[in-house]
Amino acid sequence: MAEKIKLLIIDDNENECKTFKNIFDAKGYLTLVAHNSQEAIRSVTETQPDIILPDLVIKGDKNAIEIFKDVKKLSPGSRRF
């Protein structure tokens, strides 16, 4: 059996995360969720997702571009975006 593609959703809206997780899980992805930049960085470091889908603006936190910059520092060769 082929390994599932790991998809990380970064969004502070829990309802939207649940909706997208259900959709992607039904399509056969292994869907991970992070609700803030700290969770996102931890998830990227620990699970190395194949695809990252961020919300552009996370209230009271870093935006998608800032999170991508942090991920690139931790994993300079990353091609996940």
Backbone φ, ψ for residue 33 (5° rounding): -130, 140
Domain boundaries, the chain: 6-74
Was domain 6-74 assigned CATH 3.40.50.2300? yes
In sequence order, the 6+-apart residues with CB closer than 8 A to the CB of 81 are 52, 68
Q: Which residue has the tokens 């990380």?
A: 8
Within 13 Å and on the Cβ side, how many CA atoms surround 7?
19
The predicted-structure confidence for 13-31, as pLDDT tens digits, reads as follows 999 999 999 999 999 999 9
Q: What is the mean pLDDT of the chain?
A: 87
- Tens digits of pLDDT across the chain (81 residues): 578 999 999 999 999 999 999 999 999 999 999 999 999 999 988 988 888 898 888 888 888 888 888 888 876 665 655
What do you get for the CA distance between the two ends of the chain, in Å? Answer: 26
The pTM (predicted TM-score) of the whole model is: 0.85
* Cβ atoms within 10 Å, residue 68: 18
